[in-house]
Structure 1
Amino acid sequence: MSLTVTLTFFLILSPFVSSLTTIGDNTASAYEILQDFNFPMGILPKGATGYELDRKTGKFRAYLNGSCSFSLEGSYQLKYKSTVNGYISNNRLTGLTGVSVKVLFLWLNIVEVTRGGDDLEFSVGIASASFPIDNFYECPQCGCGLDCVNGPVRKLKIKPSVYSF
């Protein structure tokens, strides 16, 4: 290819390339992006392979290496699809899809996560539960959660009013 053709090709494509990097600038990890918006990295399991973020709208998409499920403290079962979608802003994730929790006998979608001080509140629409943020400093691992070396199970700290309606 001649230098003129290469330069022309680059100039034609550069507006498209720059808009893509604005939407999905993968210089940081999905975990670092969560932290940029004041969330702990442990709300995503280990193994996120990438993300997309439109900083203008807050549309966020995290990619995992397949679907993922695990239990925390034996009482909370969580499932993540291979793609988690939503809108992110400082201290708030809304319109979430791709994450569900088993409550009693039902699987419910977690639709919103908000941070208030040192607590995270997870909403399934009709109910919500608050947990201290220090529960989420470590990323759980697919299959085994936070008990992957068969050591003592770390207890999940729960706020006194677990569910609010």
Structure 2
Amino acid sequence: MLVCVNVSAQYDPNKASAYEALQRYEFPVGLLPEGVSGYSLNESSGEFWAHLNRSCSFTLENSYELRYEPEIKGLLSKGRLEKLSGVSVKVVLVWLNIVQVKRNRQSLHFSVGFKSADFPVENFEECPRCGCGFDCSSSSNYI
């Protein structure tokens, strides 16, 4: 399994990474792209914030284009990420915000409000990389 790279210059080896925090809430690490440079999680309220150094986009399964803004926010609880902002998907010609992700056993349910799609959890066991997603050659130079 790919280890997701946390590029924070202030990385504290005693603090869990954003990816490890997701795993504690029953989500796979691949919900976030490689290269998170900072994050915070308020365990009592569930407020989650992750920061990337730049916007990030890639194509998923040759049909969905995903875009991550430099700031990603949401409310995190076991198997549920709600009030999500900073992640969008291109459907036909329109960008729609992904507002919720729920885990249902071995699938992830992504919702843009009025429409949703399910994907196997195993599709997100590795972190996608900006520019190439999950289909990066080992010689790629993406962060």
> Equivalences for 1:96-107 in 2 at 5 Å?
96-107=84-95
2:104 is aligned with 1:120 = no
Segments of structure 2 that go 5 or more residues without pairing to the other structure are 1-13
Distance change (3 Å), C-alpha of 1:150 and 1:36: closer
Q: CA RMSD in A?
A: 1.4
- Per-residue CA shift, 1:2-59, capped at 9, x if unaligned? xxxxxxxxxxxxxxxxxxxxxxxx7010000000000000010000112111111100
Distance 1:66 1:121 in 2: 26
Instruction: Identify the structure with the greater strand proportion.
Output: 2
2:131 is aligned with 1:143 = yes
**TM-score by structure 2 length?**
0.85
Instruction: Identify the structure with the greater helix proportion.
Output: 1
Task: State the AA in 1 paired with 2:24.
Answer: D
2:67 is aligned with 1:59 = no
**TM-score by structure 1 length?**
0.74
Distance 1:89 1:121 in 2: 15
Segments ≥4 residues shifted beyond 6 Å:
none
2:72 is aligned with 1:84 = yes
Identity over the aligned pairs, expressed in percent?
Answer: 56
Q: How many residues align?
A: 126
- Per-residue CA shift, 1:139-164, capped at 9, x if unaligned? 1100111122189xxxxxxxxxxxxx
Match of 2:61 in 1: 73
SS in 2 for 1:135: helix
SS in 2 for 1:138: coil
Distance 2:24 2:53 in 1: 23
Match of 2:16 in 1: 28
Which structure: larger Rg?
1
Distance 1:38 1:80 in 2: 21
Q: Which has the higher contact order (CA 8 A, sep 6+)?
A: 2
